[in-house]
Amino acid sequence: MIAIIAGGIIAFNFSGVKDSIGNALDRSVADEAEMPEEDEELAALANSSSKESEEAKEAFEVSDEKTGDGLPSERQFADSIHHMTHQKVKATQKWGHLEITDERIEQKYETAKKSNYEYREFYMAALEDWMEGDFSNAVQVHNTIWNERDGTIGKARGLMMPEEEMEYKIRHFD
């Protein structure tokens, strides 16, 4: 009798696990379908560097050194852009929140323009799109900076729907 009950419990629990796995796989496929296409020009800018070595061209990597010109370090600047992308992207975890406003985008663009940042052109290209109201590159921008920080949790999986973004803004900025 105990064996029959145990078998029933195991079968019941296994069907729940099977359904959970199936749902997770379905979500994974759906998330991938929502991923915007990569902007090849932006990717090239993220992979380019003013450094001459081939090593420097292999990965987006920013410095935390003070600039000496009153601008934030490149790491601080990249982190602020990364925090802005959180308003637009789907990710399991997000650390840091900075509201996207027209004024902030313009200020970040002007900072990048005045800077000698290694990836100045990458930031400017991304922000130029944002100034036009085009945030389709937000996943790519997020993940480029997230990868530089050796991210393991919180990779962007797609753009939020307008309703999701509104909820995010209410939760973090109101």
Could you report the per-residue pLDDT of 111-149, keeping only the tens digit for each?
999 999 999 999 999 999 999 999 999 999 999 999 988
Residues forming beta bridges with residue 158, ordered by sequence position = 90
Residues forming beta bridges with residue 90, ordered by sequence position = 158
Could you report the per-residue pLDDT of 41-92, keeping only the tens digit for each?
766 666 654 444 344 335 788 888 888 889 999 999 999 999 999 999 999 9
pLDDT range class, residue 32, cuts 50, 70, 90: very low
> What distance in Å separates the CA atoms of residue 138 and residue 36, rounded to the nearest whole number?
9
Residue type, 144: T
